[in-house]
Amino acid sequence: PLVSSKEMFKKAYGKYAIGAFNVNNMEILQGVIEAAKEEKAPLILQISAGARKYAKQVYLMKLIEAAVEDAPDVPVCVHLDHGDSFELCKTVIDAGFTSVMIDGSHLPFEENVKLTKQVVDYAHPRGVVVEGELGRLVGVEEHVVVSEKEASYTDPDKAVEFVERTGVDSLAIAIGTSHGAYKFKGEPKLDFERLHEIAKRLPNFPLVLHGASSVLQEFVQKANQYGGKLSGAQGVPEDMIRKATTMGVCKVNIDTDLRLAVTATIREIFALHPEEFDPRKYLGPAREAVKKLVKHKMRNVLGCSGQ
Ligand code: G3H
Ligand code: 13P
Ligand code: NA
Ligand code: ZN
């Protein structure tokens, strides 16, 4: 059934996390939902503004409706990823999303509070939950020095004030992760001390980790072997994600790993079978690769299998 993430997070807190997977088309969605079915895992499907633009919201919603019908035992939350305005959040709430993110992390604190609270005030009476964000995710491609990067991390005291004043249901935090396939230049490092401080000040409050793909080297290597150019791609090691799930992180956002699984698979088929031109012959295996990857995440990294 279609549910909000409220019960999922309550049950998961401190023990495991729910995977929030970005979906942009039918094959990715089918790969993800099949994995959740087989793993008996709760699931968050997230749709970005870019996904809405690419596929049209109505197509994605009908596909998700079909997925929920096809997997009646899987609790599915439909979440707006990185909502950037009240209007967008309102639009998707009216269309049946069960959860929205309002990302005011680039705004000054007071404006972030105001915008986030406005969304909460619209969402809550309609049974929809809201994720806010405090702190900014800075990637290696943004060419900032370490001190600047750390200055963008979430302030634990501000996090408490933000949650109290907005009434958000979960909070995305910045502790060193970033979006995309190039997260670290040298050794991967997350600020677990900071995560601990935030969680200590917000007991039992669900935290969210964006930019949490691990950038599996098996896919990077396969893509590169068959003509890709992804040198230096590096993600968050799986043991760090595992650790975060025991420290109050209840939602782990994953998009890049799905993209890499799809791309590596298709590149290999194109290279090895250049005579092939039936899209099902490469989109099918790509869907299978997504399913295998998501099963691995649920079972071995997030710990949400069987929950
Ligand atoms: O946070 C970014 C997600 O990976 C979504 O990416 O905006 O390209 O759909 P997108
Ligand atoms: P990745 O780029 O690490 O997959 O992060 C995705 C994300 O945070 C979506 O909101
Ligand atoms: Na999100
Ligand atoms: Zn994100």
pTM, entire model: 0.98
pLDDT tens string for the chain (307 positions)?
A: 999 999 999 999 999 999 999 999 999 999 999 999 999 999 999 999 999 999 999 999 999 999 999 999 999 999 999 999 999 999 999 999 999 999 999 999 999 999 999 999 999 999 999 999 999 999 887 888 888 888 899 999 999 999 999 999 999 999 999 999 999 999 999 999 999 999 999 999 999 999 999 999 999 999 999 999 999 999 999 999 999 999 999 999 999 999 999 999 999 999 999 999 999 999 999 999 999 999 999 999 999 999 9
Instruction: Name the nearest CA neighbour of 129 among 94, 169, 166, 165.
Output: 169
Query: In the chain, which ranges are E strands?
Result: 18-22, 43-48, 76-83, 99-102, 129-134, 170-173, 207-209, 249-254
DSSP for residue 296: H
Q: How far is the CA of 277 from the centre of ligand 4 (A)?
A: 34
81 is an active site residue: yes
> Using a 6 Å cutoff on CB, does residue 51 contact ligand 1?
yes
Residues 290 and 259: their CA atoms lie apart, in Å, by 9
82 is in an annotated binding site: yes
Q: Which of 81, 155, 169, 257 is catalytic?
A: 81
For tokens 């998501």, name the residue: 294
Q: Which two tokens stand for residue 63?
A: 């596909």
Closest CA to 240 of 232, 230, 252: 252
Q: Give the span between the Cα atoms of 57 and 36, in whole angstroms.
A: 22
**Residues forming beta bridges with residue 44, ordered by sequence position:** 20, 77
Q: Going by C-beta distance under 8 Å and a sequence separation of 6 or more, which residues neighbour residue 306?
A: 39, 40, 41
Complex-level ipTM beyond the 0.95 threshold: yes
With a 6 Å cutoff on the Cβ, whether 179 touches ligand 2 is yes
| Ligand 2 pocket test, candidate residues 213, 230, 290, most atoms within 8 A of CB | 213
Cβ 128 vs Cβ 169: under 8 Å? no
* Domain residue ranges in the chain: 6-302
Whole-number Å distance between alpha carbons of 132 and 83? 10
User: Quick one: pLDDT at residue 140?
Assistant: 85
pLDDT attached to residue 149: 86
* Residue ID of nearest Cα to ligand 2 atom 9: 253
User: Can you name the residues that pair with 130 across neighbouring β-strands?
Assistant: 100
| Residue 38 in tokens | 């087989």
- Whether residue 9 contacts residue 18, with contact meaning beta carbons closer than 8 Å, is answered with yes
Separation of CA 86 from chain center: 20
Asked if 228 and 219 count as a contact pair (C-beta separation under 8 A), the reply is: no
Kindly report the CATH class assigned to 6-302: alpha beta
Can you name the residues that pair with 31 across neighbouring β-strands?
Answer: none
pLDDT given at position 56: 97
Q: How many CA atoms lie within 13 A of 206 on its CB side?
A: 24
How far apart CA 49 and CA 54 sit, in angstroms, is 9
